[in-house]
């Protein structure tokens, strides 16, 4: 399409904009289409060159457009360029409870195998002034239809739930099996299971009937009983004996009337799939694959259409004329033209996008199934452009002892479309000439018995017909859904190509049915498909339908999980005894609950547990957002409380329920404590070393906004204000964003950049040593930091440090202990000179006045003063505190009794 803004300008401005167009980028759906269009528009004079993708070429040619000569640059994509997936971390199956997927965000991204195509488009558009889209003229091609994002979420949620649970319950059978759910594939499976169960439940019933025959010169006429059959043997026997008392037939009626066999309707996708399956024995998936190849080669029209009405503007005579050269059906095509031209029947369906499937060009060079399908499409087209077959049908009714019997005969007068369409059968059935009122002696009068028979298993054509009837999927997706239930081993095929449900398919359907949810029934999906059409027609609101559908599937999912044992029991009938799974052995992770919104990206922040113990608050936007709050090691447990802070913003900010290690908190504070980490709780803020800082990425002139937002320090060591300003960060006063520092080793502490003079410092205050893992295993070659003297247990992976120092990350400063409240077992003091200053009344854990020393070692902290225990090093209690750290008045002495040491 052309850029739109120029349309609002004056005519002169519009002409000027057109004159500036020298190069036009054209993009088709596939390379074959791009090449074909370029050949037609350039009269085969286009120039080919390579793009970044070896499968998608670039064709250039000159063309007259907008009243001037322009260069056309024709290239292509390969179907959909973008795909949909959950945002991290929801993509990983074990990252969350499947229930969380209903509310997880979806993002569009370019798959890795299409990145080269994307690069080609990005490069070529830079040199062009206009863009022409050559995709299919339908909802999919124009991408204006309603994308069923949340229904995909429902499918993903059920798929993960089923797969994660059933792999554990039946490990020997389903260890590597993907047990998918789809709102279309499951009802498709349901049709197969329903038919199979109907056959299983069928009980044959004996019936009885009277049969009359009359032989003549040309054969034998069978007269069928007008009652058809009776299920009572005695009643039938009585009537039969009455007939046998005087077995003479009287002709009571003879009716002869014209009979027509209708020519087929124009061909849509569903009929193509059904007829190819029935008549050619080619399955739906292969049929559509071949049809699309024929389309890209220019031999047939677009094969994905819901239309069975030829548009009036389509020149059917020219299409018929192309086929007159064929030795097999050429004469028939010529006869259509000679007898008044094409007169196709009209159906009732139109998608307003594509005409019915028809041949667009004659060819005789195809082989195999391509040739067979092309021939079928041509013959079907010629048949529907022809005339109905004509015949004369005669119905004769006779009476024997007041019991009526009927025979029918047929004389074909004109075969018409049947001459070119061998896929339909209609044959003569000769009967002699009977006169009304005449009497004759039947050759036989018999009482015969039989049994009712069960329905047959579904063929692919039967299944497609059911899917269309109940609104499951579209003409473009029927084959895909059928193929899915086959590849998932939910169904198999018998020798005569009928669908038979597998054990897994049977168990899944019966399991969900036993819960009270008929997930295999078409109602849920059919309702959605109907709503989608109403959205397209402007009769329903997209948002309302979206919310309604999500809530419906979400509620079903929640209750299905609660009754999951019924699924286990149903599958156990087919897969053997279910394995016992201990209650504590979770089949899938618990649903994460939001504590508050992330101040960086507004995603939910949830509590998580580290593998080696300990807790942290993590942003659900990870890894795009690395905001995190790490809690100190003396936090033994933390859970979300249902109470919500009235002060902290943005609402809601839930309070947390902490359980602390004995001796790690002030005596006035209980070991089990409920508080808010939003910044309003002074005691908890001091205990966890929460500090108010401005957002470092804020410009210096910005005005602080009300409300508290969690924010972390961006360097391991405090840098000068001049250094921070040089990096473009703000130098505002404290009081806005909340920072958390802890002695706990962080997951993602900020790295020491090579150019900022900062070094990673361990808990001893010394510069940490950078090492590389040599041991065989998944971490081989990975770098990490550890204490250079092994005096403390400091450890940090080097690659878990963020690269962007100006981003707002909720991370602790590595190795720093809470100011004033110190945890027992602190590290060694750093090398430095001592001072007689006792630290302003601060005492260490030994109850001794601290001494103040100065860092002498080269590095960013050189010259910085700190407080430490006055005793010799081998006798020190481990107390450490930076002299320039703020300590809440009155807490220093308390901290000396209860805390520990650490350094940054």
Q: Would you state the structure tokens that stand for residue 386, as one six-digit string?
A: 């022809």
Overall average pLDDT of the 391-416 stretch: 94
The pLDDT, as a whole number, for residue 392 is 93
The pLDDT, as a whole number, for residue 841 is 64
Establish how many alpha carbons lie within 13 A of residue 350's alpha carbon, considering only the half-sphere containing its beta carbon.
Answer: 10
Q: Phi/psi at 321 (nearest 5 deg)?
A: -60, -35
Report how far residue 490's alpha carbon sits from residue 509's, in angstroms, rounded to the nearest whole number.
10
Overall average pLDDT of the 801-822 stretch: 34
Contacts 24+ apart (CB under 8 A), 802-806: 802/626, 802/748, 802/750, 802/751, 803/751, 805/714, 805/715, 805/727, 805/750, 805/753, 805/756, 806/696, 806/697, 806/714, 806/727, 806/728, 806/729
Overall average pLDDT of the 176-202 stretch: 89
The pLDDT, as a whole number, for residue 378 is 96
Band of residue 682 on the pLDDT scale cut at 50, 70, 90? confident
**329 C-beta neighbours (distance < 10 Å), count:** 18
The pLDDT, as a whole number, for residue 698 is 32
Model confidence at 511: pLDDT above 80: yes
Report how far residue 568's alpha carbon sits from residue 552's, in angstroms, rounded to the nearest whole number.
23
Highest-scoring range by mean pLDDT, 284-293, 534-543, 853-862, 871-880: 284-293
Band of residue 240 on the pLDDT scale cut at 50, 70, 90? very high
Overall average pLDDT of the 452-476 stretch: 89
Model confidence at 692: pLDDT above 50: no
Model confidence at 769: pLDDT above 60: yes
The pLDDT, as a whole number, for residue 416 is 94
Band of residue 710 on the pLDDT scale cut at 50, 70, 90? very low
What are the tens digits of pLDDT across the range 295-322? 988 899 989 888 999 998 899 999 999 9
If DSSP codes are grouped into helix, strand and coil, which group holds residue 73? strand
Contacts with 792 (C-beta within 8 Å, 6 or more apart), sequence order: 762, 763, 764, 815, 827, 828
Contacts with 203 (C-beta within 8 Å, 6 or more apart), sequence order: none
Report how far residue 13's alpha carbon sits from residue 11's, in angstroms, rounded to the nearest whole number.
5
DSSP secondary structure string, 790-853?
A: SSS--EEEGGGS-S-TTS----PPTTPPPSSS--SS--PPPSEEEES---TT-B-TTSPBPEEE
Q: Phi/psi at 414 (nearest 5 deg)?
A: -150, 120
Q: What is the CA radius of gyration of the chain?
A: 40
Q: Would you state the structure tokens that stand for residue 383, as one six-digit string?
A: 């048949």
Of 164-173, 428-437, 441-450, 728-737, the poorest mean pLDDT is in 728-737
Contacts with 858 (C-beta within 8 Å, 6 or more apart), sequence order: none
Of 242-256, 571-585, 882-896, the poorest mean pLDDT is in 882-896
**Residue 668 contacts residue 685 (beta carbons within 8 Å):** no
DSSP secondary structure string, 22-72?
A: -EEEEEESSHHHHHHHHHHHHTT--EEE--SSTTS-EEEEEEEETTEEEEE
**424 C-beta neighbours (distance < 10 Å), count:** 14
Report how far residue 471's alpha carbon sits from residue 183's, in angstroms, rounded to the nearest whole number.
12
DSSP secondary structure string, 413-429?
A: EE-GGGGT-TTS----B
The pLDDT, as a whole number, for residue 534 is 85
The pLDDT, as a whole number, for residue 759 is 56
DSSP secondary structure string, 553-621?
A: HHHHHHHHHHTHHHHHHHHHHHH-SPPP--TTS-SSPPPP-EEEE-TTT--EEEEEE-TTS-EEEEETT
The pLDDT, as a whole number, for residue 521 is 78
Percent of the chain residues past pLDDT 70, beyond the cut:
76
Query: How buried is 280 (Cβ within 10 angstroms: 0-12 exposed, 13-18 middle, 19+ buried)?
Result: middle
Report how far residue 332's alpha carbon sits from residue 386's, in angstroms, rounded to the nearest whole number.
9
Taking alpha carbons only, the member of 458, 473, 457, 461 closest to residue 187 is 473
Q: Phi/psi at 627 (nearest 5 deg)?
A: -60, 130
Model confidence at 388: pLDDT above 50: yes
Model confidence at 290: pLDDT above 80: yes
Percent of the chain residues past pLDDT 90, beyond the cut:
30
**449 C-beta neighbours (distance < 10 Å), count:** 11
The alpha carbon of residue 744 and the mean position of all alpha carbons in its chain are separated, in whole angstroms, by 39
Report how far residue 153's alpha carbon sits from residue 892's, in angstroms, rounded to the nearest whole number.
53
What are the tens digits of pLDDT across the range 417-447? 999 999 999 988 888 889 999 999 999 999 9
Contacts with 518 (C-beta within 8 Å, 6 or more apart), sequence order: 190, 512
Q: Phi/psi at 732 (nearest 5 deg)?
A: -85, 165
Instruction: Name residue 769's beta-bridge partners.
Output: 786
The pLDDT, as a whole number, for residue 455 is 94
Band of residue 813 on the pLDDT scale cut at 50, 70, 90? very low
Model confidence at 585: pLDDT above 60: no
Which has the higher per-residue pLDDT, 136 or 159?
A: 159
Residues with a catalytic annotation lie at: 302
The pLDDT, as a whole number, for residue 145 is 29
| Distance linking the first and last C-alpha atoms of the chain | 59
Band of residue 718 on the pLDDT scale cut at 50, 70, 90? very low
**Residue 359 contacts residue 323 (beta carbons within 8 Å):** yes
Model confidence at 812: pLDDT above 90: no
Highest-scoring range by mean pLDDT, 116-120, 307-311, 511-515, 739-743: 307-311
Q: Would you state the structure tokens that stand for residue 325, as one six-digit string?
A: 């050269």
Model confidence at 155: pLDDT above 70: no
User: Tell me, what DSSP letter sits at residue 635?
Assistant: E
Q: For the chain, count helices (H), then strands (E).
A: 22, 33
Taking alpha carbons only, the member of 174, 179, 175, 185 closest to residue 157 is 179
Which has the higher per-residue pLDDT, 493 or 594?
A: 493
Report how far residue 106's alpha carbon sits from residue 109's, in angstroms, rounded to the nearest whole number.
10
Which has the higher per-residue pLDDT, 680 or 38?
A: 38
Peptide bond connecting 483 to the previous residue in cis, omega within 30 degrees of 0: no
Instruction: Name residue 543's beta-bridge partners.
Output: none
Band of residue 843 on the pLDDT scale cut at 50, 70, 90? confident
Band of residue 763 on the pLDDT scale cut at 50, 70, 90? low
Band of residue 827 on the pLDDT scale cut at 50, 70, 90? very low
What are the tens digits of pLDDT across the range 590-632? 556 788 888 888 888 888 887 777 888 888 777 778 788 888 8
The pLDDT, as a whole number, for residue 695 is 32
If DSSP codes are grouped into helix, strand and coil, which group holds residue 450? strand
Model confidence at 147: pLDDT above 70: no
Which value, to the nearest 10 degrees, does the dihedral of the CA atoms of residues 569, 575, 579, 581 take? -60
Highest-scoring range by mean pLDDT, 38-42, 153-157, 454-458, 547-551: 454-458
Highest-scoring range by mean pLDDT, 54-63, 73-82, 323-332, 674-683: 323-332
Which has the higher per-residue pLDDT, 502 or 528?
A: 502
The pLDDT, as a whole number, for residue 721 is 33
Report how far residue 904's alpha carbon sits from residue 899's, in angstroms, rounded to the nearest whole number.
16
Model confidence at 111: pLDDT above 50: yes
The pLDDT, as a whole number, for residue 149 is 34
The pLDDT, as a whole number, for residue 443 is 93
Report how far residue 209's alpha carbon sits from residue 228's, in angstroms, rounded to the nearest whole number.
7
Of 237-246, 351-360, 709-718, the poorest mean pLDDT is in 709-718
Query: How buried is 546 (Cβ within 10 angstroms: 0-12 exposed, 13-18 middle, 19+ buried)?
Result: middle
Q: According to DSSP H, which parts of 298-452 are helical?
A: 316-322, 330-338, 368-384
Overall average pLDDT of the 725-745 stretch: 30
């Amino acid at each position: 399409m052309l850029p739109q803004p120029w349309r609002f300008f004056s005519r002169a401005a519009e002409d000027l904009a057109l004159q500036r167009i020298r190069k036009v980028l054209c993009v088709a759906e596939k390379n074959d289409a791009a090449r074909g269009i370029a050949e037609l528009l350039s009269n085969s004079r286009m120039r080919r060159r390579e793009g970044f993708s070896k499968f998608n070429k670039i064709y250039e040619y000159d063309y007259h457009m907008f009243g001037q000569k322009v260069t056309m640059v024709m290239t292509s994509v390969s179907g959909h360029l973008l795909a949909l997936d959950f945002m991290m971390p929801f993509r990983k199956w074990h990252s969350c409870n499947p229930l969380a997927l209903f509310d997880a965000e979806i993002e569009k991204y370019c798959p890795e195998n299409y990145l080269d195509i994307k690069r080609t488009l990005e490069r070529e558009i830079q040199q062009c002034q206009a863009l022409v889209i050559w995709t299919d003229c339908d909802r999919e091609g124009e991408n204006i239809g309603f994308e069923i994002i949340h229904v995909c979420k429902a499918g993903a949620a059920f798929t993960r739930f089923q797969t994660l649970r059933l792999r554990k319950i039946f490990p020997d059978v389903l260890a590597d099996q993907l047990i998918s759910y789809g709102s279309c594939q499951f009802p498709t499976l349901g049709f197969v299971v329903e038919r199979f169960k109907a056959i299983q439940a069928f009980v044959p019933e004996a019936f009885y009937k009277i049969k009359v025959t009359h032989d003549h010169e040309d054969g034998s006429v069978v007269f069928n009983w007008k009652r058809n059959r009776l299920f009572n043997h005695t009643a039938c026997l009585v009537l039969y004996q009455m007939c046998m008392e005087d077995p003479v037939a009287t002709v009571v009626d003879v009716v002869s009337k014209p009979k027509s066999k209708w020519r087929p309707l124009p061909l849509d996708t569903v009929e193509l799939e059904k007829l190819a399956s029935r008549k050619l024995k080619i399955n739906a998936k292969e049929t559509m694959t071949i049809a699309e190849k024929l389309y890209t080669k220019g031999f047939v029209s677009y094969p994905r259409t819901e239309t069975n009405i030829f548009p009036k503007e389509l020149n059917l005579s020219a299409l018929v004329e192309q086929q007159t050269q064929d030795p097999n059906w050429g004469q028939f095509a010529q006869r259509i033209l000679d007898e008044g031209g094409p007169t196709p029947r009209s159906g009732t369906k139109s998608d307003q996008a594509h005409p019915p499937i028809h041949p667009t060009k004659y060819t005789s060079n195809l082989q195999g199934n391509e040739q067979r399908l092309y021939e079928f499409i041509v013959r079907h087209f010629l048949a529907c452009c022809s005339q109905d077959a004509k015949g004369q049908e005669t119905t004769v009714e006779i009476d024997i002892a007041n019991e009526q019997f009927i025979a029918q005969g047929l004389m074909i007068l004109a075969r018409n479309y049947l001459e070119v369409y061998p896929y339909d059968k209609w044959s003569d059935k000769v009967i002699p000439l009977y006169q009304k009122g005449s009497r004759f002696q039947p050759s036989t009068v018999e009482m015969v018995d039989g049994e009712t028979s069960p329905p047959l298993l579904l063929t692919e054509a039967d299944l497609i017909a059911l899917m269309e009837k109940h609104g499951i999927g579209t003409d473009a997706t029927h084959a895909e859904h059928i193929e899915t239930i086959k590849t998932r081993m939910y169904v198999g095929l018998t020798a005569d190509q009928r669908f038979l449900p597998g054990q897994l398919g049977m168990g899944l359907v019966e399991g969900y049915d036993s819960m009270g949810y008929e997930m295999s029934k078409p109602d849920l999906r059919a309702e959605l498909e109907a709503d989608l059409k109403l959205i397209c027609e402007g009769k329903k609101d997209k948002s309302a339908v979206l919310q309604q559908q999500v809530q419906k599937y979400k509620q079903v999912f929640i209750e299905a999980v609660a009754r999951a044992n019924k699924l286990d029991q149903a599958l156990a009938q087919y897969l053997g005894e279910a394995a016992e799974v201990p209650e504590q052995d979770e089949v899938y992770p618990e649903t994460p609950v939001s504590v508050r919104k992330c101040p960086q990206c507004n995603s939910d922040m949830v509590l998580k547990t580290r593998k080696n113990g300990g807790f942290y608050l993590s942003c659900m936007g990870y890894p795009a957002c690395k905001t995190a709050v790490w809690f100190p090691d003396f936090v033994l447990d933390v859970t979300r409380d249902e109470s919500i802070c009235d002060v902290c913003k943005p609402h809601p900010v839930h309070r947390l329920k902490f359980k602390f290690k004995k001796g790690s908190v002030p005596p006035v504070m209980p070991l089990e404590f409920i508080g808010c980490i939003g910044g309003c709780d002074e005691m908890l803020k001091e205990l966890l070393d929460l500090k108010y800082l401005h957002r470092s990425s804020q410009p210096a002139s910005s005005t602080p906004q009300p409300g508290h937002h969690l924010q972390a320090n961006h360097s391991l060591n405090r840098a000068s204000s001049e250094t921070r300003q040089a990096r473009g960060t703000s130098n505002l006063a404290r009081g806005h964003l909340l920072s958390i520092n802890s002695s706990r080793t962080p997951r993602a502490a900020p790295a020491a950049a090579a150019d900022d003079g900062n070094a990673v410092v361990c808990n001893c205050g010394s510069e940490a040593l950078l090492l590389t893992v040599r041991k065989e295993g998944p971490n081989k070659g990975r770098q990490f930091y550890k204490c250079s003297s092994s005096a403390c247990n400091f450890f940090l992976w080097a690659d878990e440090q963020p690269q962007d120092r100006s981003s707002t990350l909720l991370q602790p400063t590595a190795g720093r202990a809470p100011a004033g409240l110190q945890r027992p077992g602190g590290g060694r003091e750093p090398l430095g000179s001592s001072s007689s200053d006792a630290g302003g009344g601060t005492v260490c854990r030994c109850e001794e006045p601290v001494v103040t020393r100065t860092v002498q070692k080269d590095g960013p902290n050189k010259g910085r003063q700190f407080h430490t225990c006055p005793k010799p090093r081998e006798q020190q209690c481990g107390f450490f505190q930076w002299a320039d750290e703020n300590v809440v008045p009155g807490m220093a002495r308390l901290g000396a009794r209860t805390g520990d040491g650490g350094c940054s």
